[in-house]
Amino acid sequence: MTCENSARTTTAPEPARTWRKAGAAILGALLLTTVRGATAAGDPPVGTWTTIDDDSGKPRALVRIEELDGALSGRIVRLFRDPGEDPAPLCKECSGVRHDRPVIGMTILWNMHRHGDDWTGGEILDPETGKIYRCTLHLAADGMQLDVRGFIGISLLGRTQVWRRAADP
């Protein structure tokens, strides 16, 4: 009788062990997703972003965002041009030092500082019109989408573009 009892183990029956393993795996996946989301939202949106044309829905440019001394800036590193469009346009509508300068390589986003989960306080240039707008940036939790809001005066008087993370060139 003693041998019979000692042969039995104190482990849970097979179905209970399986459920515990499945529960641990699910909990681990949830924790990993939560940590990744929190990290992406807390990270600056540094990297290369694809801008999308509001009318056609097609990619228009790649903007490289960098951080220096706690401030973000972004410059155009590539343009996606339609046939017949100038492959290396100049900013004809820009004023000051940007007037008649190449759009490729031009800084169009500057002086953005972290404010909670957003980046604010800076400005963004529309190189097609030469207009400069106040700007806020909000990085999506997955780190793959950047909401770029340009506005005049208050944020309600503006519009938001969605930029998508691109592979760094």
Residues 135-154 pLDDT 10s = 999 999 999 999 999 999 88
Determine the average pLDDT of the residues in 103-109. Answer: 98
Q: For the structural domain made of 47-165, what CATH number should be given?
A: 2.40.128.520
Check pLDDT > 70 for residue 92: yes
Q: Which of 148, 78, 143, 72 is nearest to 106 (CA)?
A: 78
Mean per-residue pLDDT, 54-58: 92
Residue 94 has pLDDT above 90, yes or no: yes
pTM: 0.75
Residue with tokens 């400069």: 132
SS (H, E, C) the chain: CHHHHHHCCCCCCHHHHHHHHHHHHHHHHHHHHHHHHHHHHHCCCCEEEEEECCCCCCEEEEEEEEEECCEEEEEEEEECCCCCCCCCCECCCCCHHHCCCECCCCEEEEEEEEECCEEEEEEEEECCCCEEEEEEEEECCCCCEEEEEEECCCCCCEEEEEEEECCCC
75 token code pair: 């410059």
